[in-house]
Amino acid sequence: MQFAPAIPPGRYLYSGQTMSSEPILRLDNIVKRFGQFTAVDGVDLAIEEGEFLTIVGPSGSGKSTLIRMLVGMEEVSEGAIWLRGERIEDTPANERPTCMVFQSLALFPHMTVGQNIEFPLKIKGRSPAERKQRALELLALLRLPEHYYTRNVTQCSGGERQRIALARALAFDPEILFFDEPLSALDYRLRKTLEKELKDLHERTRKTFVYITHSLEEAMVMSDRIAIMNSGKFVQIAVADDIYAKPVSRFVAEFMGEVNLFDIEGTTSDDLHGTGIEIHVNGQAGEFGISLAPNEKGTLMVRPEFVRFLSSGETSDFLVRGILRAEYALGSRIQYKVETANGSKLTVENLREDRYQGAIGDAVILGWDIESTHIIRE
Amino acid sequence: MERLDRKLGTASSLPLLAILLVAFIAPMLVVAVFSAMPRKVFSVFNSPDFSAYAALLEQGYYRSLLWSLGMALASTVILFVVCWPLAFGMAKVFKRFTIVLTIAVVVSLFVSENIRLFGWVLTLMKGGLIEGHVRAWTGEGFESPLYSVPIIVFSLVYVYFPFMLFPLAQGIAMVPDDARQAAADLGASRWRILFEIDLPLAAPGIVVGSLLSFVLAAGALAESKILGGQTVIVIADEIETAFTYGQDWPLGSALSMVLITIIAALAIYGIAKVDLDAIMGRKGR
């Protein structure tokens, strides 16, 4: 079992996929300052042709500013943007071959659905017949009924408006399609449906999609790669599974959902100092790749769904003893809070069918395997 | 409960309704009836005829009407072109400076229109502020631009400036920024954005501003009298004359009715075309 090497923050990392020769879009040390405040702080990124890249970050992380610079609505303070080897950071938005789906969708309220979709074609000077044909094709592609062509956009529902905005962007036939949290205003179920539709659309069109969101779930469902952004910098860029299982920092680990983190220090014994965790695999920690140099600090991470309740006599690579303090039903899963002897809290999540048969206050033994364990070195 | 509310609402609107009837509808009715009386009578109890309306064509009053409408149209078009950039700035660009501009324009309304127009006379007349200084410095004078049609149009533009500017700024403020950005993102140039996005979405403001300035300019009197020196006689002038020196109430009423009908038709057409609720701040849906 190999663990991910430490990655310097802000650096571009590609994992999992094969790379084509030339990235479609390359960002070279992009900086954006608003007066004293630095919103985007030296970002490097290479976006591959045809990939679905999602930039995720909490609000205020600079992701919106970044995407606005990429489409040309915000000026770049420093750095270069290369589109297919051509510098474009000074090209105005209307001359860039890229296009964005806005958070607000920004449909034109005075136009019909058809006119909205045809707008970019009209700008390009296409004939009315050609425009209409393309608009109808796009309506079909996005599974909107043909008679919507003459409907006013203000009469369409949230999900329909979403699809119209997408159709309009596709009509532009952009080199790269950017998305600025377009699903955030929709209710949960519709969002789930549209996430899958978007992924499906990406597979059918094979266009390069760059999507920003603060919702990790959204990113996980759709993306080929995820870039995690915090305080104007990329913290980690990797495929979804790697970001989830092998985060490079506590921030990423915690951002990716519930997680158990333990501060550990360099150790040569099977005792992880002060954490209350016992190691039971063949004695030596170093053998599974979690050894730290003497006095090196690190964080041991295990996701709640990999932790299980052990029955007496049962063993696992890592063991923790504690008291069951709380139980929460999360629908298909049950979440437990367990307090260990030294006072630290552990979160455990089991499927409903594996529900723990006991009561609050029970003394329990928790265990997990080395394969589910990750060491964060910052 | 709801029915009681409705009854109370109706009841409380009665006083205003009464005032509207007495102060607005009744005089209009009187004018309408008078317009169908024989010329130069002072009673509505005569057998109706339409000789006053016939005078519009036969005695050339239609020329005054055309001058009024023409100059109102010209000043409205000029106002629109002049006010658009400023209104755009106020709605989208100037931020806090907008309030300074608003106050500056509103303060000019504190001074009576006639006094402001006489100020222009003093400025523009031969030997006035401008020509007088130029002559004193260079020894060469020039003809005053006063007492001509262009100066009347200029003064209409000057006087009705706020009536175009503020509705226009309000209309432009309703154009969503993201729609403009999306249009640019989809490849539209500034001109395309102006014609495809700004103008249609600011239409309520454009219609309200244009109607206000057109209606006021079409009925304007002081501009042609003071700055125009009655180079051309406007319809409002003819109406005033008919009611006063002319002692011909039916003629005055008939001319009024024609003006009112034209303006009302324009107003109804314009308002029907746009969503006035939007600009009044009431959002349906």
Residue-wise pLDDT for A172-206, tens only, equals 999 999 999 888 878 888 888 889 989 999 998 88
* Chain position carrying tokens 């393309």: A134
Name A177's bridge partners. A99, A209
Q: Mean pLDDT score of chain B, rounded to an integer?
A: 89
Chain B CB contacts of A168 under 8 Å are 186
pLDDT, tens digit (0-9, with 9 covering 90-100), for B217-269: 999 998 888 888 888 889 999 999 999 998 999 999 999 999 999 999 998 98
Sheet holding A233-239: strands in order across? A98-101, A176-180, A208-213, A52-56, A225-230, A233-239
Task: Name the residue among A374, A353, A243 with its Cα closest to residue A306.
Answer: A374
Chain A CB contacts of B182 under 8 Å are 100, 102, 106-108
Considering only alpha carbons, which residue of chain B is nearest residue A123? Answer: B188
How far apart are the C-alpha atoms of B234 and A330, rounded to whole Å?
80
CB contact under 8 Å between B185 and A94, yes or no, is yes
Q: Which domains does chain A have, with CATH numbers?
A: 25-97+174-252 (3.40.50.300), 258-376 (2.40.50.140)
Tell me what percent of the residues of chain A surpass a pLDDT of 90.
48
pLDDT, tens digit (0-9, with 9 covering 90-100), for A93-125: 999 999 999 999 999 999 999 999 999 999 999
How far apart are the C-alpha atoms of B151 and A24, rounded to whole Å?
61
User: Options 1.10.540.10, 3.40.50.300, 3.30.70.260, 1.10.3720.10; which CATH number does B58-279 get?
Assistant: 1.10.3720.10
CB contact under 8 Å between B196 and A119, yes or no, is yes
Those residues with Cβ within 8 angstroms of residue B139's Cβ, 6 or more apart along the chain or in another chain? none
Distance from CA of A134 to the nearest CA of B (A): 16
ipTM exceeding 0.90?
no
Q: Tell me, yes or no, if B197 comes closer than 8 A to chain A by beta carbon.
A: yes
CB contact under 8 Å between B176 and A106, yes or no, is yes
How far apart are the C-alpha atoms of A148 and A162, rounded to whole Å?
14
Task: Name the residue among A327, A334, A329, A331 with its Cα closest to residue A355.
Answer: A334
Task: Kindly report the number of other CB atoms within 10 A of residue A182's CB atom.
Answer: 26
* Chain position carrying tokens 């060469």: B140
- pLDDT tops 80 at residue A15: no
